[in-house]
Amino acid sequence: MKYGAISPEEIFARNESELNVADVVEGIIRDVRQNGDAALIAYAKKFDKADLTSLEVTETEMEEAFAAVEPEFVEILKEAAENIRTFHQQQLRQGFRIEKENGVVMGQKITPIEKAGLYVPGGTAAYPSTVLMDSIPAKIAGCKQLCIATPPSADGKINPVILAAAKIAGVDRIFKMGGAQAIAALAYGTQTVPKVDKIVGPGNAFVAEAKRQVFGRVSIDMIAGPSEILVIADGKSNPAYVAADLLSQAEHDKMASAVLVTDSEELAQAVAQEIENQLKQLPREDIARTSIENNGKIIIAQDFEDVLKVANEIAPEHLELCVDNPFDYLDKIENAGSIFMGRYCPEALGDYFAGPNHTLPTSGTARFSSPLSVDDFIKKTQFTYFTQEALSQVGEKVAFFAEKEGLSAHAKSAVIRLEETL
For 143, other C-beta atoms within 10 Å of its C-beta total 23
Range 311-339 burial, b when 16+ CB lie within 10 A, else e: bbebbbbbbbbbbeebeebeeebebbbbb
DSSP state for residue 303 in the 8-state scheme: S
Please choose, from the candidates 246, 215, 202, 154, the residue with its C-alpha nearest in 3D space to the C-alpha of residue 372. Answer: 202
Backbone φ, ψ for residue 153 (5° rounding): -80, 175
Provide the H-helix boundaries in 148-303.
160-169, 179-188, 205-214, 239-250, 265-279, 285-295
Please choose, from the candidates 152, 200, 218, the residue with its C-alpha nearest in 3D space to the C-alpha of residue 373. Answer: 200
For 7, other C-beta atoms within 10 Å of its C-beta total 15
* Catalytic one of 318, 320, 347, 358: 318
Task: Report CA torsion sign: 210, 216, 217, 218.
Answer: positive
Number of H helices, E strands in the chain: 16, 13
Measured between alpha carbons, how far is 184 from 241 in angstroms, rounded to an integer?
42
- Is 318 considered catalytic here? yes
Which DSSP helix (H) or strand (E) runs through 378? strand 378-385
Measured between alpha carbons, how far is 31 from 101 in angstroms, rounded to an integer?
58
- Is 88 considered catalytic here? no
- 215's CB contacts (< 8 A; 6+ apart) are none
* Catalytic one of 317, 320, 347, 358: 317
Residue 318 near residue 337, CB atoms below 8 Å: yes
DSSP state for residue 337 in the 8-state scheme: S
Residue 332 near residue 348, CB atoms below 8 Å: no
Active site residues: 317-318
